């Protein structure tokens, strides 16, 4: 089974009656439930999907139940065709602290008000209204602000246009919240909403703990934009589909100081409720986890991490059926209902729901179920698997010296395995076997596991390397290798060698000298079944995901100036190159049970 898609948005509109047409369940991946054992797994944790209480449902019932729980996201900019009846709409022009004027759209639902207000911002033309149409029908007002100042020239972008210069998101959002709070149509309850760029456009305001804000409900995003742009070991991301050897290069620009949200203390008594949805393959995953950790002491932080990505999974990817998506919990989160006063605030606790992945092809394999924890990481043992000179992975440290040599030529860079997929933004458990024939990709694999291995938490690699160039990048992937040979990418990371001692201490390498590189692979939660093997993949370039490094210290005008790096991976008692995994014993977190685990207690409207 190879799963590639996100649900077709028009099909969601049809399912909810917003568009006419016949529902095509194939577009909603009903075939993922061809094996009835997946339906059993869904019902084990979501018995409410069975309206009869008989303990048995069809694939069509499962899909329709899940679709009914997902709010409709309208396409792109504010399309008035999908507005509920009697919505009033006008545009304001708000002046920011630097004098820039930002267009601000206001939408009020039917009724007299005042109303709870949802605030969204986005780099798209017309701000970000995805989802707001849905909530307008439920009595919320919506405000959508464009990040692009009136009359400013736009650069091309996948969503119709982007600002050429990024503004101070936190400052602009604070001014917007203050303005909304003063309007007669606002009842004093304000929530931030948005996904991806929409979250980046609002969440940084949380650093100032704005008193006007009641809640923030976002998904596949983070308060820390640097989490993907230059914190992957200082390596810039690059989503180019083809490599152009004529382009210039300069090293990444890591932040000079601390990034992300300053952690709260319970004594701070911050009353803002924060909820975020993410996925183990999302490009903002670690930022979402870090945001939750920073906000946890408030007692009002909820994070739900599913098995998804930043959009449709690339090809080829394996994944279990859609009950692994975080959006299955959307109706249960407290954020929006808090604005209406239909949630007992004392029932909301800081909690993390996460999908523990497993063998994506076997409904009876361990894992593939939802877990609940109030702590992160969950209790675990850091277990090292050491690289061997025979390209193996061993739980025993090396007892003798070995080395693996290979060359990296930036003019012939490695491409990500799914480079032909339509969206290079999405990560996923993509099969990496296509890269095994490259001389600049080095694989290490373990013996088949004799029992399941649960890995939950943050992964890292420690490589002992030498090279003959002053600087380069190293990339590491952790793989779940199936008995049939499929190599699912579970986690990955990168580092620019100049930043090995910290972003504030860039230092060139000396030819032949051995250096230890610590590489952050971010986080995951998965059980590798018996018979699977661990895999580690090491290379120096991966265009479509990361900027290609020319192996020079100084900026270059083009890759004609690139150097070929001759690299060595050192394996010895004093050079224990290894991957470190957070191994979890059964019972470290609770299995999600709807009878015992509720994100909040809801009540009828006051």
What H or E segment, with its residue span, contains residue 13? Answer: helix 9-15
pLDDT digits (tens, 9 = 90+) for 15-70: 888 889 999 998 888 999 999 999 999 999 999 999 888 889 999 999 999 999 98
In three-state secondary structure terms, 186 is strand
Inform me whether the pLDDT recorded for 548 exceeds 70: yes
pLDDT at 280 over 90: yes
Q: Which pLDDT band holds residue 159 (cuts at 50, 70, 90)?
A: very low
Lowest mean pLDDT among 133-142, 203-212, 253-262, 459-468: 253-262
- Residue 472 tokens, joined: 């380069």
Note the pLDDT of residue 513: 98
**228 backbone φψ class: left, alpha, beta (φ>0; ψ -120 to 50):** alpha
Please choose, from the candidates 503, 509, 515, 494, the residue with its C-alpha nearest in 3D space to the C-alpha of residue 563.
509
Q: Across the chain, how many H-helices and E-strands are there?
A: 9, 27
Question: What's the CA gap between 404 and 238, in Å, rounded?
Answer: 28
Q: Is the pLDDT of residue 232 over 80?
A: yes
* pLDDT for 158: 41
Specify which of 19-28, 127-136, 217-226, 563-572 reaches the highest per-range mean pLDDT: 563-572
Q: Please check the confidence at residue 123 and state whether its pLDDT lies above 70.
A: no
pLDDT band at 160 (very low <50, low <70, confident <90, very high): very low
Angle between helices 36-45 and 59-69 (to 10 degrees): 40
How many whole angstroms separate alpha carbon 480 and alpha carbon 478? 7
User: Any idea which of 168-177, 194-203, 565-574 has the lowest mean pLDDT?
Assistant: 194-203
Give the whole-angstrom CA distance, residue 378 versus residue 383: 15
CB atoms within 10 A of CB 37: 11
pLDDT band at 340 (very low <50, low <70, confident <90, very high): confident
pLDDT above 90: residue 600? no
pLDDT at 122: 77
- pLDDT score at 531: 98
The model's pLDDT over 494-516, given as tens digits with 9 standing for 90+, comes to: 999 999 999 989 999 999 999 99
405 class by beta-carbon count within 10 Å (0-12 exposed, 13-18 middle, 19+ buried): exposed
CA separation for the pair 310, 487 (Å, rounded): 20
pLDDT on residue 125: 54
Question: What is the Cα 352 distance to its own chain's centre?
Answer: 15
In 498-587, which ranges are E strands? 515-528, 533-539, 565-572, 575-576, 578-583
Q: Tell whether the model's pLDDT for residue 83 goes beyond 90.
A: no
* Strands 273-281 and 578-583, sheet pairing: unpaired
Q: Average pLDDT for residues 149-177, to the nearest whole number?
A: 71
Catalogue the E-assigned strands of 357-398: 369-373, 381-387, 393-394
User: What confidence tier does 84 reach under pLDDT thresholds 50, 70, 90?
Assistant: confident
Average pLDDT over residues 290-313: 94
For residues 288-311, give the mean pLDDT: 95
Q: What's the predicted TM-score (pTM) here?
A: 0.95
């Amino acid at each position: 089974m190879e799963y590639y898609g996100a649900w077709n948005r028009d099909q969601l509109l049809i399912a909810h009656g917003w568009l006419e047409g016949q529902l095509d369940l194939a577009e909603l991946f009903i075939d993922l439930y061809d094996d009835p054992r997946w339906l059993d797994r869904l019902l084990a944790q979501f018995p409410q999907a069975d309206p009869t209480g008989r303990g048995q449902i069809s694939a069509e019932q499962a899909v329709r139940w899940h679709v009914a729980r997902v709010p409709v996201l309208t396409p792109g900019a504010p399309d008035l065709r999908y507005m509920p009846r009697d919505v009033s709409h006008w545009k304001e022009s708000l002046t920011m602290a630097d004098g820039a004027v930002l267009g601000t759209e206001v939408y009020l639902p039917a009724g007299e008000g005042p109303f709870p207000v949802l605030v969204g911002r986005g780099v798209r033309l017309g701000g970000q209204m995805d989802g707001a149409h849905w909530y307008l029908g439920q009595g919320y007002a919506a405000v959508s602000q464009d990040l692009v100042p009136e009359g400013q020239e736009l650069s091309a972008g996948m969503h119709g246009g982007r600002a050429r210069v990024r503004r101070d998101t936190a400052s602009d959002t604070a001014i917007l919240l203050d303005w909304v709070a003063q309007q007669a149509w606002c009842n004093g309850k304000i929530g931030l909403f948005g996904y991806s760029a929409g979250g980046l456009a609002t969440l940084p305001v949380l650093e100032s703990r704005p008193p006007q804000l009641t809640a923030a409900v976002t998904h596949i995003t983070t308060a820390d934009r640097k989490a993907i742009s230059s914190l992957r070991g200082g390596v810039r991301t690059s989503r180019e589909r083809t490599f152009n050897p004529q382009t210039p290069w300069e090293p990444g620009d890591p932040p000079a100081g601390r990034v992300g949200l300053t952690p709260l203390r319970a004594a701070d008594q911050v009353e803002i409720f924060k909820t975020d949805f993410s996925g183990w393959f999302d490009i903002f995953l670690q930022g979402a986890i870090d945001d939750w950790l920073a906000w946890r002491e408030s007692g009002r932080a909820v994070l739900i991490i599913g098995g998804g990505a930043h959009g449709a999974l690339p090809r080829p990817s394996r994944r279990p059926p859609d009950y692994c998506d975080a959006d299955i919990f959307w109706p249960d989160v407290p954020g929006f209902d808090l604005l209406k006063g239909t949630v007992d605030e004392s029932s909301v606790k800081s909690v993390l729901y996460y999908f523990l992945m497993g063998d994506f092809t076997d409904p009876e394999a361990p894992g593939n179920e939802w877990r609940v924890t109030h702590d992160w990481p969950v209790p675990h043992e850091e277990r090292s698997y050491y690289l061997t000179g025979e390209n193996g992975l061993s739980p025993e440290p090396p007892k003798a010296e070995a080395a693996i040599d290979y060359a990296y030529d930036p003019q012939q860079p490695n491409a990500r395995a799914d480079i032909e997929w339509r969206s290079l933004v999405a990560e996923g458990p993509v099969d990496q076997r296509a890269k095994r024939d490259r001389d600049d990709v080095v694989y290490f694999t373990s013996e088949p596991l004799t029992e399941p291995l649960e890995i939950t938490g943050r992964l890292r690699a420690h490589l002992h390397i030498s090279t003959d160039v002053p600087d380069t990048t190293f990339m590491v992937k952790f793989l779940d290798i199936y008995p049939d040979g499929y190599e699912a990418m579970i986690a990955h990371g990168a580092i620019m060698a100049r930043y090995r001692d910290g972003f504030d201490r860039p230092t060139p390498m000396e030819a032949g000298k051995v250096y230890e590189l610590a590489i952050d692979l971010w986080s995951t939660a998965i059980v590798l079944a018996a018979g699977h093997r661990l895999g580690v993949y090491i290379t120096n370039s991966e265009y479509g995901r990361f900027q290609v490094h020319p192996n020079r210290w100084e900026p270059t005008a083009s890759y004609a100036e690139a150097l070929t790096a001759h690299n060595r991976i050192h394996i010895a008692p004093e050079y224990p190159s290894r991957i470190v995994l957070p191994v979890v014993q059964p019972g470290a977190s609770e299995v999600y049970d709807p009878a015992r685990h509720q994100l909040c207690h809801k009540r009828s409207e006051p």
